[in-house]
Amino acid sequence: MDFSLEQSEVSLKEDIRGFAEQEIPHNWIVNFLDEESRDEDWAFSLSISRKLAQKGWLVMNWPKKYGGCDASWVKYTVFAMAAAYYGIPGLSMGVSGTGWIGPSLMLYGNEDQRQRYLPEIASGSPDGIWCTGYSEPNSGSDFASIKTRAVRQSGEYVVNGQKIWTSCAHRARWCWLAVKTGDSEARAQDSISILIVDMRSPGITVKPLLNYSGEHIFNEVFFDDVRVPLGNLVGEENRGWYQLMKSLVYERNSFGGQSYGTSKRILDSLVRYAGETCRAGKTIAKDPVIRHRLAENAVEIDILKMFLYEIAWKMDVGMAPLYESSRNKAMADHVLEKIALTGTEILGSSCQVAQRSKMARLNGLIQRQYLMFPGNAIAAGTDEIEKNIIGKFKLGLPRSY
Ligand SMILES: Cc1cc2nc3c(=O)[nH]c(=O)nc-3n(C[C@H](O)[C@H](O)[C@H](O)COP(=O)(O)OP(=O)(O)OC[C@H]3O[C@@H](n4cnc5c(N)ncnc54)[C@H](O)[C@@H]3O)c2cc1C
């Protein structure tokens, strides 16, 4: 098995490093989930999305006719890992046009929808920013129990209900919304549909939910008689549950490159820090506990990379990975948690101060990761849910409930 990268992939990594040196401020550590929190960070991230699109990187693995470059999933994975390593924001077009809404539209959307929405995402336009409306106050892991309902009335859907934890809803132009459409007698899984909803529609109210570090990532979104054209149904009515099984593969997989790049960047920073920091007259890099901890992290980060290449290769050859995306998500969560914990042990009290404090070490990278990893392990399916899926589809275990 040959794991070496092709020349074009090696040069891509170099080009991304050059782009980051030129475009990203040295002390920049905001990306993915928290770039939408502050207006100035958001404006900067959007400007980077546009530049990534101009370079042909943003959705390089999409077909040319929708604004991509026909690149392989493997090459896109190389890009995603390197971009995250260098801290480049603006990769996802909300949560997440590039990662799962675009690929899902290519699978289940009709040609009009693809032509209408994909180029906006691919070009890095503010009109290509999406949010995902799945979770509700009483439906998270038990997604089939959602209550938000769309009823056909005078040639439109009329939507009523509430979503929660909707990342980026305050920035998004469009919502990828899961609703109930089937009659109340129908099996829950056979009565869900996916609608594309214009976030500017009358009847939508977005209310911020600040997370524990004060970031505005999540929102509550209320739908009060929101009218949606029938043409905004994605795929088949009442088949949304089955369509989402595939969308969730894209969603879970899309966390991988980001998680790998972030963890590898922290690992490399910690290795440098350990080599430069002395305690009791010698560098802490000589301390066996610290060395072993870093070595464990390095092995796990390498495993994640192999998993990412494996699933990307399977997608390139037309296989349909299922449990692998849950495996990658669970591994990515594990790696992010472990590297954050290693960082807090190595930095000691310095990791407790605020990111912009003069006492912060490594530019606040560890504090940030320490605050972010629990959320990562919940979004797109909690660790327990990913393990349930691995148990069922990899090991053939019976359902847990
Ligand atoms: C950072 C972040 C971003 C998010 N962004 C979005 C978004 O953009 N759009 C959106 O729709 N949602 C979003 N979410 C919500 C997320 O999808 C849900 O929080 C998640 O699905 C879990 O649902 P819940 O919070 O209702 O917890 P619950 O489902 O109530 O779970 C609570 C606990 O019980 C465990 N549990 C539940 N069922 C089982 C089971 N069968 N077996 C074993 N353990 C179980 C869970 O693992 C968890 O530990 C986001 C969440 C986070 C943290």
CATH code of 204's domain? 2.40.110.10
C-alpha separations of 228 from 149, 154, 206 in Å: 12, 11, 17
What pLDDT score does 320 carry?
Answer: 85
Dist. CA 261–CA 16, nearest whole Å: 12
CA 70, 71, 72: angle at the middle one, nearest 5?
A: 120
Please report, for the domain that includes residue 256, its CATH number: 1.20.140.10
- According to the model, what pLDDT value does residue 175 have? 98
Q: What is the pLDDT of residue 399?
A: 84
Residue nearest to ligand 1 atom 1, measured at CA: 375
pLDDT along the chain (401 residues), means of 10: 90 97 90 88 97 98 97 97 96 95 97 98 98 97 96 97 98 98 89 98 98 94 98 97 94 94 97 95 96 98 97 93 94 97 94 86 92 93 95 91 68
Contacts of 203 by beta carbon, 8 Å cutoff, 6+ apart: 159, 223, 224, 225, 226, 227
CA distances to 113, 210, 291, 357, 367 from 216, in Å: 30, 5, 37, 21, 17
- Pair (52, 122) in one structural domain: yes
Identify the pLDDT of residue 354: 83
CA-CA distance, 327 to 334, in Å (whole number)?
A: 11
Q: How far is the CA of 1 from the centre of ligand 1 (A)?
A: 38
Are 32 and 70 found together in one domain?
yes
Token reading at 119? 């180029």
Ligand 1 centre distance from Cα of residue 85 (Å):
27
Residues 140 and 231 in one domain: yes
Write out residues with Cβ below 6 Å of ligand 1. 33, 95, 131-135, 140-141, 165-167, 375, 378-379, 382, 384-385, 388, 400-401
What is the atom index within ligand 1 of the atom nearest the CA of 167? Answer: 8
Q: Which atom of ligand 1 is nearest to the CA of 375?
A: 53
Query: Residue 299: its pLDDT value, please?
Result: 98
Q: Are residues 89 and 209 in the same domain?
A: no
Counting from 1 in the atom list of ligand 1, the atom nearest the Cα of 135 is 11
* Total domains, the chain: 3
Whether 272 is covered by a domain: the verdict is yes
Token couple for 41: 């960070």
Same domain, 295 and 335: yes
Structural domain of 326: 242-394
- The answer to whether residue 88 sits within a structural domain is yes
Asked if 254 and 386 sit in the same domain, the reply is yes
Co-location of 138 and 188 in the same domain: yes
Same domain, 44 and 178: no
Among 77, 103, 126, residue at a domain's last position:
126
Residue 1 lies in a domain: no
- Predicted local distance difference test score (pLDDT) of residue 185: 86
If you take atom 31 of ligand 1, which residue's CA is the nearest one? 141
Res 31: pLDDT: 76
Q: Rounded to the nearest whole angstrom, what is the distance from the C-alpha of residue 400 to the centroid of ligand 1?
A: 17
Instruction: Give 142 Cα–ligand 1 centroid separation in angstroms.
Output: 9
Of the candidates 153, 341, 327, the one whose C-alpha atom is nearest the C-alpha of residue 252 is 327
